[in-house]
Structure 1
């Protein structure tokens, strides 16, 4: 007779004998993690079974529920793991995001169900920081306009701008924003930052911390690096753009919904601000009817900031390690540990 399926919130003893029914099954939805790769071997070496199902977000909640059937832990990308989806996955005990943002997961609902939710803080900070500087240079030197002009048979020679002597305003002071600071300073930029990070954690003397209105009014480039929360959703709206310089450029590598896209389109179209380079948008891929389309001065990229070979490899390794740790009751990066029921919280806290 086989043993019953483990209850949510219970953890197997490492090294104990387990039959097929109790071997943890790991769902992997991140599309760059493949059967037989390093991460797959890493999880199987710990006695887990892996199930790969990339691109699940496109299939709707029913497909997500079906994929989570019989799953103990999930290593996920941006799938919308709602309360409804999570409640239909009774074996699920741990979710790990192969990245930093976790706004696609209902973390409170997960906690009520005894499911730990982890992210990988700072895992792609260097990649995002370098990409941010790439967008700054692209905007400042009008590189896309030059390349598209040459492709169309012209030879554009309009002046660009140097970054040296300009002011960069960072919204947020997480790992990626902190990694931007020395790169921007190397280009001779002044760096401002607005953040909710406590003052005792703002230790960089090369950054001047200011309130958002002052940052918007003073910056030549505004770069978004904050998490998407109820407080930051739509943070950059029409009133924010009215505070910015008419020559200012907006850079967003964080989350699309932090920006009011209709207000941004109006602001660029009317010259209220000069331009925007967006790596993220509120709906991805960019829909045909997006207000951001066909606005001269707005360039949208395909969510590439954290997508380097190095960052992906690190995210895979660290994500797998977090899955193993979470299933053993000792997650390192649980973002909802404080919300878990007391028994699950004790396990999550080690």
Structure 2
């Protein structure tokens, strides 16, 4: 356990058990005190440099981890995401500079899958409109739609997509999956692997579970939305940017879709879409949450501990679990 073991935690909602684990492993662990309403993504690069000076480990939320930031922090050995997305981290720079980047693989699958099913039910059963009407003194029944025995299209077959599929078995749903590559050998019986056009054409519910990459950005665009079954429901609890929210708003406005369940928005990274987000939030056929799908108490505790264990593994000179490592530049650093 020798050497620099200062660890900065800039993510909110870091539980005491995970903090105690870090300290029990000889880490000088500190949770960054952020003002109310501010997250680490709101900090400037200069502010991040000042906070991270001398740190060997960083458990990060949504801050951008750039080449210039990493270069200014020579002591920083490991950047551990308390989550599974890593599009805000410059992985090439991390490798070039001899750093390790990890994610909390497997920690929030259940929480996001539960949330996804919740969005499907909330939109289909018109919870938002019903409660608003009741609050206004109108107790008229809103005719809604079942999830039971519907056709559900899952775009992406990663951990969360598979977790959603397991939950859908309780609804006797027909499940269609679109994913790159051949049909996985462990695919559940009854799941159909189809092309994206076929999935969009047949599905009553479409749920997006793909990573955000240049290739997948706006994969659900105006053309894809137009190809969806009339009256279908779209759910995105993956990443803002997979769906073109402006095109989604247009599809809702003309009545092509019955509604949308959204946990993520393009405006999270693109201010030009803020008015689009506001318009979506104003609609009674949209049920929205603030990028909160992974943030159950239990899910946060699991991801906190996975992130903490990954940091300790790197500081001990060991390897974190393989599915948690998204960049490892240590061999390059040692060769240099």
Q: List per-residue Cα deviations over 1:258-281 (Å, max 9, x = no partner).
A: 111111111111123221110111
Alignment of 1:1-350 (within 5 A): 14=1, 18=2, 22-33=3-14, 37-53=16-32, 54=34, 55-196=39-180, 198-284=182-268, 289-295=274-280, 296=283, 297-329=285-317, 330-332=319-321, 333-337=324-328, 340=329, 342-343=331-332
SS of equivalent residue, structure 1 residue 145: helix
Contact 1:112 1:341 in 2 (8 A): no
Q: Structure 1 length as normaliser, TM-score?
A: 0.87
Aligned residues: CA RMSD: 2.0
Contact 1:292 1:298 in 2 (8 A): no
Q: List per-residue Cα deviations over 1:101-127 (Å, max 9, x = no partner).
A: 111111111111111111121211111
Instruction: Flag as ranges the 4+ runs of structure 1 deviating above 6 A.
Output: 285-288
Contact 1:56 1:63 in 2 (8 A): no
Contact 1:218 1:244 in 2 (8 A): yes
Distance 1:164 1:40 in 2: 42
Which structure 2 residue ranges, 5 or more long, are not aligned? none
CA gap of 1:201–1:290, structure 2 versus 1, over 3 A, is farther
Q: CA deviation at 1:341?
A: 6.0
CA gap of 1:30–1:197, structure 2 versus 1, over 3 A, is farther
Q: CA deviation at 1:57?
A: 1.5
Distance 1:207 1:122 in 2: 22
Contact 1:57 1:64 in 2 (8 A): no
Distance 1:135 1:293 in 2: 19
Contact 1:279 1:304 in 2 (8 A): yes
Q: Which structure's relative contact order is higher, taking Cα pairs within 8 Å and 6+ residues apart?
A: 2
- Which one has a bigger Cα radius of gyration? 1
Q: Structure 2 length as normaliser, TM-score?
A: 0.90
Distance 1:162 1:219 in 2: 13
Q: Identify which range, 279-288 or 125-134, moves more after superposition.
A: 279-288
More helix by share: 2
Q: What count of residue pairs does the alignment treat as equivalent?
A: 323
